[in-house]
Amino acid sequence: MTTVNQEEIQKFSKLAEEWWDVSGKFKPLHMFNPVRIEYILEKTSGHFDRKDKTLPLKGLKFLDIGCGGGLMSEPMCRLGADVTGIDASMKNIKIAETHSKENNLKINYLNTSPEKLKESEKFDVILNLEIVEHVENVDLYFKSCAKLLKKNGLMFTATLNRTFTSFIKAIIGAEYVLRWLPIGTHDWNKFLKPREIEEVIKNLNFSVKEVKGLEFNPFTQKWKRSNDLSVNYIITSYKN
């Protein structure tokens, strides 16, 4: 059994050279990053009662699954976290390794998937950011996360809701009209409703802390938190 979908891996491997081009194919993620970083930092600092403003994540072990070129691994490392980034695409990992070395950041990048990691390796925080809609076996994916997370550890799961609104905005709008993303980046049928994820993780002994929407403002060209879960949302949960 595997969580790796080879078609998805090939799709992102072809784009690997563009991860750090802020005007390239991953421009939407670069625009998305500030609100994601702010949210994860706030929730993690609160959960683990961190007071250090300079390195608020110091000493915390992070696992960034589907890390791509390292767009979230690097800021977490800069904030003090001990980061392991994993991706099933070797091309992505090579890009991530090169970029982190150029910036003198010590990040442990591995070309693997969560079910293959040793269970003896436990993390304080797991990041599932824009990844679950691309995996092959969602149940196995979250089971693997549960095994890798420490008790009371945090898990952030950001993905797309399966709604009519998300089909219009994330598929038709983002891929066909605005051309933010290459056509075929997402399969709407793989989008998950928040309650579907909540049911899976609650059966794995997780408690949900918060479910928050993330919304793009076309006038300011910025993302913000929202109570609207119809397109992008993030679930913050912890392991009991």
Residue 82 inside a domain? The answer is yes
pLDDT class of 98 with cuts at 50, 70, 90: very high
Q: Is the pLDDT of residue 211 over 90?
A: yes
Can you give the CATH number for the domain in which 229 is found? 3.40.50.150
Does residue 59 form part of some domain?
Answer: yes
Tell me, yes or no, whether 64 lies in a domain: yes
The pLDDT mean for the chain works out to 93
Evaluate if residue 123 carries a pLDDT over 80.
Answer: yes
Which of 72, 74, 174, 206 lies closest to 130 in space, CA to CA? 72
Per-residue pLDDT band for 121 (boundaries 50, 70, 90) equals: confident
For the chain, the domain total comes to: 1
Residue 176 domain flag:
yes
> What is the span of the domain harbouring residue 25?
6-239
Q: Which of 77, 133, 129 is nearest to 100 (CA)?
A: 77
Judged against a pLDDT cut of 70, whether residue 11 lies above it is answered with: yes
Residue 116 lies in a domain: yes
Q: What is the pLDDT of residues 162-194, one digit of tens each?
A: 999 988 988 887 766 667 777 778 889 899 999
Domain contains 50: yes
Residues 214-237: pLDDT tens digits? Answer: 998 888 889 999 999 999 999 999
Residues in the chain: 240
In a domain, 1, yes or no: no
**Does the residue 104 lie in any domain?**
yes
Tokens of 56: 């608020």
